[in-house]
Structure 1
């Protein structure tokens, strides 16, 4: 008999795992209360950056590089080959660490003149710009749907229902009870509600904004970009949605997952101020759209991928804490998780629930807030 699994959640982590297990001949039931890639999930925006640079962290760099390969195998059209540029404000900061790690791993990177990448760009506050030419932009929502659909094609049963844990079982709102060799809970921000007794998650409000720009700002001609110390990221105009700007400091807490999703006017001003600061040629570009994302943040920004501590047999696993990084790693993390579930490989301690977790590498942009002048502080 093949092993069996119930995977709860059809965001990027749950869908990647359901796809991986179904294609490995597992008997999979994939449960989601809405639809894969729905707008209220952390997987709800249309696009994400996918890049290997993670500062001094080689493990995440390798995993993201593998995920990029797997996204392209799923469907090459999911990845826009734009490259990703890093605006380094210090000569020896996060980007210099990333440059050393990428080079040691054989992942292409180079220092470039940003004026050759962007139609308009301010550079007087930059020490250098690092380009990952093989990185790009991921059509994220389409990617989640493609993973979930491929899981079904490989034999997974998709179940639309609200689920709650009952020991090692999954109870659905229609009264059904699901049991399997393994139960994996990968339900994004809802993890805090279901497993708050063992998980330390903060659910935060993170907005992105789209600005209408001339055609010369289209991706892949214009790359994605990250200003790590400025705590802002974005990308060129992908699929006609406009230039995307995402303020990336940790946002306010989301009190209710059922609340209305309204973009924060303060964050909109932050995005507008950065647009004018970094790309003066489009400082007055009209706002044409916004999206409210919710992040499930762990204290150290690492994933949670671990057996539930109440069950010593490893039959129940908790998978979450995406902290804004799940798309960069999802398919590759699913590969590793299958081995961890089968006990053919020891789980990664950094993703556990115990004291082995470490806080020595910063993965999210933690940069300076905007100054009172309306420009990013240097």
Structure 2
């Protein structure tokens, strides 16, 4: 059941793990079974393993597969969260884990490009971020428009009043990072199973076992469900109206040949608050192209059957923004596009809580488009819930705080 490093890694990236050819009964119970090998599940499994637990990690299609919220090329890591200091602290505490994991990989998992947020006015979000970062002692720099123009020549800063530059943050290579983490987990003695878990059956105060679509039985003392946009399918009565996957379109454009302005040496990860219509992107990393997306909730997305082709409307909207803010890319060819999904709670807060009826089961999800960077901190919190380690409970992560509808407050 335990794959080798060769099976997990194909060159620089891990290969997908295939399901067993025949039905298998897992008779030796694990201490903990973790369902979902995205960033939240993989880090939870690793933190549980570090705490001395025997852990089984289960996913039907492989770590950070193409339809997962953790799939795709890259994710930004940043500490700018306005007044939401809890997320700044989580992003900051996760950096050491990401750096340590990156040092073990054949190719880098973290690019310290810096991150630049910029605003058309002295936005309350920016002012609250400055206050939090000063209180935490972060080296965030406040840039006026002229200084921003000088340091980041690819950006047309017309209409920009203020920039916040975070030098210690940057970009995580998402798929590669999760696959590398799962490889390290297996190398350290963790178990991985490629199987699709069926919705669990009701128990009397606890969950005793799981069934898989190919007839296997998974036994464990405790369970963690970190199945991303599939969580509502596993727990329809509990989560179908509390977690909503939405369609998100991402584009990569070819920069001019030999133009250093769009590489990681001169262009950081960035986000333009743009009067409330936020766009964000990343430099041309590993010759993939200049990445850009609009940070808004798209239509509801079926993670299995949803159309993964980009829309003409989204491409036109992105091109219009590029023509104004990155004029050297006005006519840049489109290298590629991706459609992924956010897995949203009503207001953007995470879900990390015990199941309301099964005391040995923890639910982890609602990354809401900003959670990838905090995988290590989420995993540590979830692992503490599982093991009973000392933990300061955060009410914002509770199931009871998850409304069925509301306004997105976390950005």
Normalising by structure 2, we get a TM-score of 0.84
> Residue 163 of structure 2: which of 124, 129, 144 is its match?
129
Contact 1:64 1:328 in 2 (8 A): yes
C-alpha distance in structure 2 between counterparts of 1:324 and 1:256, whole Å: 14
Aligned position for 1:341: 386
C-alpha distance in structure 1 between counterparts of 2:68 and 2:287, whole Å: 23
What value does the CA root-mean-square deviation take over the aligned residues?
2.1
**Are 2:123 and 1:88 aligned?**
no
Aligned position for 1:177: 217
> Residue 89 of structure 2: which of 58, 62, 79 is its match?
62
C-alpha distance in structure 1 between counterparts of 2:191 and 2:47, whole Å: 14
> Residue 247 of structure 2: which of 205, 226, 244 is its match?
205
Contact 2:230 2:303 in 1 (8 A): no
Contact 1:183 1:316 in 2 (8 A): yes
Q: 1:226 Cα deviation (Å)?
A: 0.7
**Are 2:351 and 1:304 aligned?**
yes
Contact 1:56 1:361 in 2 (8 A): no
Contact 1:209 1:291 in 2 (8 A): yes
Aligned position for 2:264: 219
Q: 1:117 Cα deviation (Å)?
A: 3.4
SS in structure 1 at match of 2:357? coil
C-alpha distance in structure 1 between counterparts of 2:76 and 2:196, whole Å: 30
SS in structure 2 at match of 1:250? coil
1:1-378 equivalence runs, <5 A: 4-76=31-103, 77-112=108-143, 113-164=147-198, 165-167=200-202, 168=207, 169-199=209-239, 200-214=242-256, 215-216=259-260, 217-228=262-273, 229-255=276-302, 257-311=304-358, 314-343=359-388, 344-355=390-401, 362-364=409-411
Would the alpha carbon gap of residues 355 and 259 (structure 1) be closer, same or farther in structure 2, given more than 3 Å must change?
A: closer
Q: 1:82 Cα deviation (Å)?
A: 0.6
Unmatched tracts of structure 2, length 5 or more: 1-28
Aligned position for 1:371: none
Q: 1:92 Cα deviation (Å)?
A: 3.4
C-alpha distance in structure 1 between counterparts of 2:247 and 2:402, whole Å: 28
SS in structure 2 at match of 1:197? helix
Aligned position for 2:18: none
C-alpha distance in structure 2 between counterparts of 1:310 and 1:261, whole Å: 36
Q: 1:251 Cα deviation (Å)?
A: 0.6
Aligned position for 2:22: none
C-alpha distance in structure 1 between counterparts of 2:128 and 2:406, whole Å: 16
SS in structure 1 at match of 2:377? helix
Q: 1:256 Cα deviation (Å)?
A: 5.6
Would the alpha carbon gap of residues 256 and 139 (structure 1) be closer, same or farther in structure 2, given more than 3 Å must change?
A: closer
Normalising by structure 1, we get a TM-score of 0.91
SS in structure 2 at match of 1:30? strand
C-alpha distance in structure 2 between counterparts of 1:117 and 1:154, whole Å: 44
SS in structure 2 at match of 1:179? strand
Q: 1:35 Cα deviation (Å)?
A: 0.9
Would the alpha carbon gap of residues 75 and 250 (structure 1) be closer, same or farther in structure 2, given more than 3 Å must change?
A: same
C-alpha distance in structure 1 between counterparts of 2:345 and 2:150, whole Å: 38
Would the alpha carbon gap of residues 359 and 329 (structure 1) be closer, same or farther in structure 2, given more than 3 Å must change?
A: farther
Would the alpha carbon gap of residues 255 and 139 (structure 1) be closer, same or farther in structure 2, given more than 3 Å must change?
A: closer
SS in structure 1 at match of 2:33? strand
Q: 1:81 Cα deviation (Å)?
A: 0.9
C-alpha distance in structure 1 between counterparts of 2:396 and 2:300, whole Å: 25
Contact 2:113 2:167 in 1 (8 A): yes
Contact 1:340 1:346 in 2 (8 A): no
C-alpha distance in structure 2 between counterparts of 1:297 and 1:356, whole Å: 10
Unmatched tracts of structure 1, length 5 or more: 365-378
Aligned position for 1:373: none
Would the alpha carbon gap of residues 335 and 84 (structure 1) be closer, same or farther in structure 2, given more than 3 Å must change?
A: same
Q: 1:94 Cα deviation (Å)?
A: 1.1
C-alpha distance in structure 1 between counterparts of 2:172 and 2:123, whole Å: 29
SS in structure 2 at match of 1:295? strand
